[in-house]
Structure 1
Amino acid sequence: MTAALRRSDCGEVHGDAGSRAAYSADASNYRRIPLAVVLPRERQQVLNTLAVCRRLGAPVTSRGAGTSTSGQAVGSGVVIDFSRWFNRLLALDPAARTATVQPGIVLDDLQRAAARHGLIFGADPSTHSRCTLGGMIGNNACGSHSVAWGRTAENVVELEVVTYRGTVLRLGEMTRAEIDEAVAAGGDRGELIAALHRLAEGNLATLRTELGRFPRQVSGYALEQLLPERRFNLARALVGSEGTLALILSATVRLVAPPPARALVVLGYQDACAAADAVPGLLEHRLLALEGLDQALTDIVTRPETRQAIDTLPRARAWLFAELGGTEEELPARAAELASAARRTAGFTSSEVVTDPARARQLWRIREDGAGLATRLPGGAEAWPGWEDAAVPPAQLGSYLRQFTELLQQHGLQGAVYGHFGEGCLHVRVNFDFSTGHGTAVFRAFVTDAAKLVAAHGGSLSGEHGDGQARSELLSLMYGPDVIALFMQFKAAWDPDNGLNPGMIVDPLPVDGNLRVSPHRTPLPLTTVFPFHADDGDFAKATRRCVGVGRCRTATPGSGGVMCPSYRVTGDEKDSTRGRARLLYEMTQGEVITDGWRSAEVRDALDLCLSCKGCSTDCPVGVDMATYKSEFLHHHYRRRLRPASHYTMGWLPLLSRAAAHAPRLVNAVTASRLAPAVKRLGGIAAEREVPRFADRTFLSWFRTRSAQGDGRRGPVVLWADSFNNHFTPEVLRAGVEVLEHAGYTVQVPDGTQCCGLTWITTGQLGVARRIARRTVAALAPLTRDGVPVVGLEPSCTAALRSDLTELLDGDAEARALADSTRTLAELLVHHTPGWQPPRIAARAISQTHCHQHATSGFGADSTLLAGMGVTNSVLDSGCCGLAGNFGFERGHYDVSVAAGEEVLLPAVRAADPDTVVLADGFSCRTQIAQQTERSGTHLAQLIARALPAARS
């Protein structure tokens, strides 16, 4: 298959085990291993792919971002991924308010282009930062603002599609005259239109009474769009068909003008059912959105930034987020009127009108992250999709939710509810147990009963996510035999060979087949070094923590947080956190990837992971790929020769101690004609400059000086990290000056201590554990007495806080060290009462180290800088790209620099000469120094320069 696709110019073709594993799942419960993956770059390659598949009898599955929760983006044949290359904006007409796009374009990319003309695309699912228009069309996605702007179907003007048999059609509204003309012209197009027109004309009553009964009736095919009063709109009839009828080549969509201002009204209720009861009355207030979430969802959140936003919500057990649009002048009165109306509804507790855009974004993020947050219940149990998309008419929502809650209890299940309350569409993830036969049987029984419950309330099994394998088998519980027969006729007219996404909607696959977790598969017995307590010590369970929501696939920093720098550079699924997690999970199953820890496919997928730890915080379910990578590398290279960089970069702290005896000689060699050979032997990128060792280490300086200041606040340990100690001792010296000015007596542990970070990131966990034990023992006498430990290098501070407790699982002294560790800003802001920072009238831009982002955040730093009078702008830049050893390793230079060039490096170059470039991380400062003409400044240096002693 792969060879035939390559011979026929189908684009980028992959048939290796790693690629097949990466595309084996979407965001659903299902897992199917494809024969091959094709990434077309142009229209003709899509046609060529279909021709090969037709000739060889292989089914085809279309895929966008792979965020589908129902299993329609995975298949056992050829998967066509439109997102990587077939993703251009073809045209945008502001006057007509339309845009023409290729199916792989990400919604946010379209939104940015439209925003330049004051327009937006109305449908906005929570996955807007990575979902594609093709996927939205496939599922008839809706999002939060469908109350105002409708589903994707209402926003599609025209589609250009190709059938499995290769017929290319342009679809839209058709008059009777146009239908007659097309039928008379004959050919494949004429025959198809004739068949569809006959289907509609012969079943007008059924189409009018059974389909399109309320806005969120998405399940099945949209045959109501064939009605004459709907102008026989074949484009809209194709929306929601889940890739079973034709492949999209281009789409022309409608754009709308958003209101000039918005206000968010947060309404608290006693429970989710009371909130549901209030919906019909609130809809009378011309809302843009009406979203709901239950306390069961917010209880799951542990991420500090999101937790802080949740803690400021009005006191309640459930909330409605009601958004109003209009002019700034009219919104306060309308918001007050809405809050007043809510107060008259049963179960109302409190309200808040949010006009600050930053706070509104924080609150909306809680809702947007729901699909990921809800995958772990408060007790730690896994929760799964499978019944997260049902919709009922809003007037029935309260009744449905009460009976649905009872149904969960009857089956011994739990779930956190959230969703589009304004249109009666609920999302809930349920703690199904797919690891046992009994648990799988409970799943099947529950979804069957739930389907009957939805049908009894006049609802739809799917409200925006499509049927897929999750619900297609259940459609006969929602629709009568006559409607099911019409669906089958519709599919047969478009795809008589059943070559496009078979098993979806008609002739369905069983709802409990192809499950990602199955009692019929026994994972490999893999013993780990890290304990993985949050996943019961089960590495397979840790890797399947990734449920596929794809937040790691964002194209720009900020929208996805720090993660995933390498994916943003390459756009390759295997370089996303999700892709890597998929391969690791398949490694644990031993079916596609068969050689366990020795897998070359997994090694290659992890190669471009920067170990930035951004995913540990930014991933809604806390996938920590840096830890997974360290674990894998430890086993992969155990008792084997490692890459040269593992010996040079991994053992850098030890090598640096040797270099400290003759730093000038070492610097001369690394800057001489021998440098290329030295780099080559050390596995270092030829393009990288080797940092210069300082003439004198910080430790050498510190142990020959006398303490300054009065020391009235008592002792503090300054962690002398290897990077600053050997390369930039001036940073640690500045730290001493600041701490002494603040009234501390600075201590440094005897000997030379190390957090073991470089050994951890290179997977040398045995060495790292020995070093960790030595470090913990050296600091234990101090941390037992409550002496704080201050780190100036964020990566080392993060290691002391998190990695050492994991390596030394259960060690009370390691936990004490973690609890005692502070950043400089944290110590000065939160633990040094009465200290006033020096004033400095300066402007600054700051780069938050990715490990600091993942562990402590930048809040204390911002408070300290504001107290100093510094006007600071925190760059939304993600990782600097150097990331410790990553950017120095051979083969990583281009990705490293490209990651830095996304935001950080251009921002540094564009900054005014008198703007301070703040960067606490040694890697960040090194990247800045090597790629720009500027240098980075540590926060300690900025403060020290402003101290009275420094000015005298």
Structure 2
Amino acid sequence: MKTVSTNAMAGIDRETREAVAALEQALRWRIEGEVRFDLYSRMLYSTDASNYQIEPLGVVIPRTYDDVRTTLELAREHRVPVLPRGGGSSLAGQAVGRAVIIDFSKYLNELLEIDPSARLVRVQPGMVLAQLNARLRRYGLMFGPDPASADRATIGGVIGNNASGSHSILYGMTADHLVEAHTLLSDGSELTFRPLPWEEVERRAASESREGQLYRELLRLRAEYGEAIARDYPKHWRRASGYGLPVLLEPQLNVARLLASSEGTLAVGLEYTLALVPVPRHTGLVLLQFDDLVAAMEAVPSLLETSPAAVELMDGMLIRLTREQPGYAPRIAFLRGNPEALLMIEYFADSESELRAKIDRLLALTSEKRLGRDPLAILDRQQQADVWAVRKAGLGLLYSIRSDFKPIACIEDVSVPVEHLADYVREVLRLVAEHGTTAAFYAHASAGCLHVRPLVNLKTAEGVRIMRALTEGSLELAKRFGGVLSGEHGDGLARGELNPLLFGPTLYQCMRELKAAFDPLWLLNPGKIVDCPPLDQNLRYGPDYRPLEPKTFFRFAHDGGFLRAIEMCNGAGVCRKLSTGTMCPSYMATRDERDTTRARANVLRNALAGRILTPRHFTDPRTYEVLDLCLSCKACKTECPSSVDMARIKSEFLAQYYAAHGTPLRARAFGHIHLLNRIGSRTAPVSNLLARSPLGVVGKRLLGIHPERDLPTFARVPFDRWFREQHVPQTDGLRGPVVYFHDTFATYNYPEIGRATVALLEAAGYQVLVLERRRCCGRPMISKGLLRDAQQLARENVALLAPFARAGIPIVGTEPSCILTFRDEYPDLLPDSPDVTAVAERSFLIDEFLARAVEHEGLQIPWRSDPGPRVLFHGHCHQKALVGIKHTMTLLRAAGCQVEESGAGCCGMAGSFGYEAEHYEISRKVGADRLFPKVLEQPDDAVIAVMGVSCREQIAHFTGRRPFHVTEVLAQRLDRKHH
């Protein structure tokens, strides 16, 4: 059998197809893990975070080490390449290829052993770095290198790239912390690599074993190429280009260190032993502004004299984009001015006095040498974390640019000695200007490693030409200034082609022979460091990218259309983060690539573009399956630095899908829940009895509702009737009128929410208006893809509310997904309506409205003086994504409550999602990740407070605790003597 080519983008010959088919069949018989050779799985693994796309031959998700062994054995038998992969966040195309991908991230992700006294840890390759550090924190230890992708990068990928991150001037690179590696070679040999004296290497080389053969080859390479390595290998220490040949010249040989920056081309790791460092006791940041980028780089050598832990750069473009991104703008709200460059200088210390002394020394130096302006010292941990979050989200924030001109990787990782940094940046600016574009600069100034992202349109032949010209120009600059093409992101498809020119023919030949020594059949991720394809082939886009643009209900005006909204996903995989934030709840539950926001964008983009999939796949049931577990939580709109709004994209997809296949009864029923609840309330209590009778069981079965779920009960006296017939106004309306947009659930299921809201608003001095002619907000219809119906409701509501909005009367709601639809979806559903903007601008969540009035208008709410209850508050996903929870927390504290935020992500209910039988278990897993344990640890007298009905139902169902709406909690804290 012949070896499969890595360069073919489409189509493989008959012999190869037969080999792959035989391999797939054998794998299905012999391994416990998952074998996915179907078209959709191959498509989902065809991209990473780079410019490239290559359809793999199949995907294996091993459960055990034996699965990995068997996969390599069978791949060798059929001469099929394999590609070990973790989070797929590679920026240079290392994680894509015409091979069988082995995804370690789902199952082989355990921490195996910790030795705190020796500061060592043993882990599996699929473990995410941030999770490792979270487990180590109790011992006061951490892994030193800290790549920006640590919240989704796996240890295997960190090693494959020789990752480093912001603190490399203290901690070096991953290779410096790699103690031992238990590996499989492509021929099936299982070897453990650890430091060995050269005498021991020579002793082992005398063996006829595979280990002996490998050590003989390494000794030969050392003898034959040692002089050239010492003389010609780039001297700059911050390097991830090529193989780490200098390891062959070290006092001891640790082959594990050769695996760092090898990109999975030499061996497949099963376990790694890593050295750890202490967690810093005290940290402080100083932000230093510059009006000129080159001037900022000129300051770096002087700043390094103060022994910082890091010196990081963010340029003016990144700062401006951060201020435009709702999820990140608040994190740098304290930053004044519009600098062209911002340096973040960080210090570590064992005491506060030592930290202050270091910062004072820096401030004195900046004053003496006139380095930058407006220095700002930040000692607050949360504020420091906010700044670091912006810096680490740099690439994603740059990709938030709504244009076909994207910040592409081509000069993106050059690393040069710091003394040449300013001259290098000056030349890069000249190079970029010569090609008629601009570039963003960010990253690790302290180590001379800058991520430079020119804005280029790769959908055109001219853009592809510019990409090649800039990459080749960056090679010339790297060589001129004594640097390398990659300081941490590796070679891959983006830079591997240029390695012969970077290293010269002698060292490059040594690298080829090193690859052959480990992998004689060239089966491990071929074409990534040596013998690489041209860097302008296998592009995700390119001049032949001609996608379809379907006619849509949403305008997607902000993104420039439906397709560009999908293309905002750059593949960085931020949606794969675990146990932090909310995005992406289904991935947190399943740890399956298929359930990421990235996967959903991939399937839609590939179908519309005819890449791997075809346009007929756009409404294929398998496409529906990929999007099915999206909970429409909207977290991606805020937590994804590129603001990919998958909730809106899914709604549009469902509308298109149902147009092709018909709308299911359940979607219509839940979409029109307002009508059903109104009927249920009018017929209560009979409707409640029927819902829990055998007839109700049959109804749940017909609608596909899980038998364990009970729908909310119907109120005999709905809120609007109570307000009309029983409510006695408690205020003369001194502060003016407010429209309360009473949602479906506050009206027909939980009228106590509406009553509490009225009490709260009236206590604050407002006259409450309730418009009984209002229609459903349309959110249930939007979630179910009934966009034509939702548009009609939106028109009617805007017509009803616009006169109030134009008169300056606020519109207040208590259900986040309801009232925020006016602000988020209505303008895109009714883009030509002259009144929709007015309604959107005057619509507020109750807590947001009152907290703003307290802060800006001096509103005084008469709270009780006695201590309030202990409150655990869990925010609604749409609230967290579009408004935030600070207003809720402010009001609860002002009311005297001892409030704690849950720290959890999505509750897992997501409207009707958690009711649906096929989603019940996923719904449970999502809530069980963080929310349910947090609720269950609360004392009996603690109050569980929520904003959304979904959260209320989910918490009650799975924990047995009764939650209350925030307005109910606040209304209980009103001082009735003054009301």
TM-score (normalised: structure 1): 0.97
2:821 corresponding residue in structure 1: 799
Give the secondary structure class of the aligned counterpart of 2:534: coil
CA distance in structure 2 between the aligned counterparts of 1:812 and 1:440, rounded to whole angstroms: 42
Q: Say if 2:967 is the partner of 1:943.
A: no
Matches of 1:535 and 1:716, distance apart in 2: 33
Residue 924, structure 1, aligned to residue 951, structure 2: yes
Corresponding position: 1:887 with 2:908:
no
Q: What residue in structure 2 maps to residue 812 of structure 1?
A: 834
Distance 2:32 2:477 in 1: 46
Q: How far apart, in 1, do the equivalents of 2:970 and 2:564 lie?
A: 46
Residue from 666, 669, 673 that aligns with 1:648: 669
How far off is 1:504 after superposition? 0.9
Match for 2:964: what amino acid?
T
CA distance, structure 1, for counterparts of residue 511 and residue 556 of structure 2: 47
2:272 is the counterpart of 1:251: yes
3-state SS of the aligned residue for 2:239? coil
Measure how far apart 1:473 and its partner are. Answer: 1.0
The code of the aligned residue for 1:549 comes to: A
1:626 match: 647
Q: 2:938 aligns with which of 901, 911, 920?
A: 911
Contact in 1 for aligned 2:404/2:457 (Cα 8 Å): no
Farther off after superposition, 345-354 or 195-204: 345-354
Q: Secondary structure at the match of 2:426?
A: helix
Name 1:667's counterpart in structure 2.
688
Aligned to 2:610: 590
| Corresponding residue to 1:869 among 896, 900, 908 | 896
Change beyond 3 A, Cα 1:347–1:381: farther
Deviation at 1:949, TM superposition (A): 3.4
Of 703-712 and 352-361, deviating more is 703-712
SS at match of 1:534: coil
Structure 1, gaps ≥5 residues long? none
> In the TM superposition, what is the alpha-carbon distance from 1:98 to its structure 2 partner?
0.9
Q: What is the CA distance between 1:526 and its match in structure 2?
A: 2.0
CA distance in 1, matches of 2:139, 2:810: 54
Aligned equivalents of 2:403, 2:875: Cα separation in 1: 32
- 3-state DSSP class of the match of 1:170? strand
Q: Give the residue type in structure 2 aligned to 1:474.
A: L
Q: Of 554, 557, 564, which aligns to 2:584?
A: 564
Aligned residue among 156, 165, 170 for 1:134 = 156
Distance 1:173 1:905 in 2: 46
3-state secondary structure, aligned to 1:41: coil
Give the partner amino acid of 1:458: G
- Mapped to 1, the partners of 2:42 and 2:620 lie a distance apart of 14
Equivalent of 1:438 in 443, 462, 487: 462
Residue type at the aligned position of 1:326 = A
Q: Is the 8 A contact 2:207 2:213 kept in 1?
A: no
Q: Give how far 1:342 is off.
A: 2.8
| 1:839 CA displacement | 3.0
* Contact preservation (8 Å) 2:410, 2:470: no
Q: Given that residues 66 and 73 in structure 1 are in contact (C-alpha distance below 8 angstroms), is that contact kept between their aligned partners in structure 2?
A: yes
Partners of 1:769 and 1:201 in 2: CA distance: 75
- Partner amino acid, structure 2, of 1:512: D
Q: Which amino acid aligns with 1:247?
A: V
User: Are 1:850 and 2:873 matched, yes or no?
Assistant: no
TM-aligned CA distance change 1:866 to 1:381, over 3 Å: farther
- Map 1:195-234; keep pairs closer than 5 Å: 195-211=217-233, 213-227=235-249, 229-234=250-255
CA distance in 1, matches of 2:385, 2:950: 31
2:11 alignment counterpart: none
Which residue identity is paired with 2:308? L
Residues 103-145 of structure 1 deviation map (CA, whole Å, 9 limit, x = unaligned): 1111122212222222111111111111111001101000111
Cα offset for 1:369? 0.5
**Which range moves more in the overlay, 375-384 or 477-486?**
375-384
Deviations 1:825-848 (A, max 9, x none): 222222362322233522211111
- How many residue pairs get aligned? The number is 947
The equivalent residue for 2:801 is: 779
| Mapping of residues 388-399 of structure 1, within 5 Å | 388-399=412-423
1:481-506 deviation line (CA, Å, top 9, x unaligned): 11111111111211121111111111
The percentage of aligned residue pairs carrying the same residue is 40
1:65 aligns with 2:87: yes
Q: Secondary structure at the match of 2:300?
A: helix
More deviation, 908-917/614-623:
908-917
Q: Residues of 2 paired with 1:468 and 1:770: CA distance?
A: 51
User: Cα 1:80–1:476, aligned 2, differ >3 Å: closer, same or farther?
Assistant: same
- Tell me, in whole angstroms, the C-alpha distance in 1 between the residues paired with 2:317 and 2:837: 30
Pairing 1:654-733 to 2, within 5 Å after superposition = 654-704=675-725, 705-733=727-755
- Aligned-partner Cα distance in 2 for 1:542–1:503: 32
TM (norm. structure 2) is: 0.94
CA contact (8 A) 2:234 2:483 kept: no
Give the partner amino acid of 2:795.
R
SS in 2 for 1:475: helix
Separation in 1, partners of 2:858, 2:348: 46
Give the AA of the match of 2:819: T
RMSD: 1.7
User: Once the two structures are superposed, what CA deviation does each residue of 1:24-65 show, in whole Å capped at 9, x if it has no partner?
Assistant: 100100001111111111111111101111122211111110
- State the Cα distance separating 1:527 from its structure 2 match: 2.0
In structure 2, the residue matched to 1:551 is: 574
Which residue is 1:456 aligned to?
480
Q: Return the letter of the residue paired with 1:161.
A: T
Q: Partners of 1:887 and 1:218 in 2: how far apart?
A: 46
- Mapped contact 1:717–1:788 kept (Cα < 8 A): yes
Matched, 1:46 2:73: no
Long gaps (5+) in structure 2 = 1-19
Question: For residues 652 and 352 of structure 1, do their structure 2 counterparts lie closer, same or farther at Cα, with a shift above 3 Å needed?
Answer: same
User: 2 CA distance for matches of 1:379 and 1:514?
Assistant: 22
Q: Distance in 2 between matches of 1:640 and 1:331?
A: 64
What letter corresponds to residue 636 of structure 1 in structure 2? Answer: Y
Amino acid at match of 1:581: A
**Residue-by-residue CA offset, 1:281-319 (whole Å, 9 max, x unaligned):** 222222222211112101012233521232313543312
User: Structure 1 CA distance, aligned partners of 2:454 and 2:645?
Assistant: 23
CA distance in structure 1 between the partners assigned to 2:395 and 2:360 by the alignment:
31
SS at the partner of 1:892? helix
Change (3 A) 1:378 1:753: closer
SS in 1 for 2:737: strand
Deviation at 1:85, TM superposition (A): 0.7
Match of 2:259 in 1: 238
- 1:578 aligned residue (598, 612, 617): 598
Q: Does 1:742 align with 2:769?
A: no
SS in 1 for 2:782: helix
Alignment partner for residue 392 of structure 2, among 362, 365, 368?
368
Is the CA contact 1:694–1:727 (under 8 Å) kept in the aligned structure 2? Answer: yes
Per-residue displacement from partner, 1:453-474 (whole Å, max 9, x unpaired)?
A: 1211111100001000000112
Instruction: Quote the residue 1:513 is aligned against.
Output: 537
The one of 312, 332, 335 equivalent to 2:334 is 312
1:357 and 2:377 matched: no
Give, as a single letter, the amino acid of the residue that structure 1 aligns with 2:876: H
- Measured after TM superposition, the shift of residue 381 of structure 1 is 4.0
Asked if the contact 2:233–2:503 (Cα under 8 Å) also holds between the matched residues in 1, the reply is: no
**Could you tell me how far 1:584 is from its partner in structure 2?**
1.5
Are 1:322 and 2:342 matched, yes or no?
Answer: no
**Distance in structure 2 (CA, Å) of the matches to 1:493 and 1:344:** 56
Structure 2 CA distance for partners of 1:891 and 1:950, relative to 1, 3 Å? farther
Aligned residue number for residue 411 of structure 2: 387
CA distance in 2, matches of 1:814, 1:775: 9
CA contact (8 A) 1:60 1:500 kept: yes
- CA distance in 1 between counterparts of 2:404 and 2:641 reads 14
AA aligned opposite 2:53? R
In structure 1, what is the Cα distance between the partners aligned to 2:947 and 2:197?
66
1:414 corresponds in structure 2 to 438
Whether the 8 Å contact between 1:944 and 1:950 is mirrored in structure 2 is no
1:4-35 C-alpha deviation (Å, 9 max, x unpaired): 32123162111122211111100100001111
Letter in 2 for 1:859: K
CA contact under 8 A between 1:587 and 1:599: conserved in structure 2?
Answer: no
Evaluate the alpha carbon distance shift between residue 639 and residue 749 of structure 1 in structure 2; reply closer, same or farther with a 3 A threshold: farther
Q: Give the C-alpha shift of residue 382 in structure 1.
A: 2.5
1:295 alignment partner AA: G
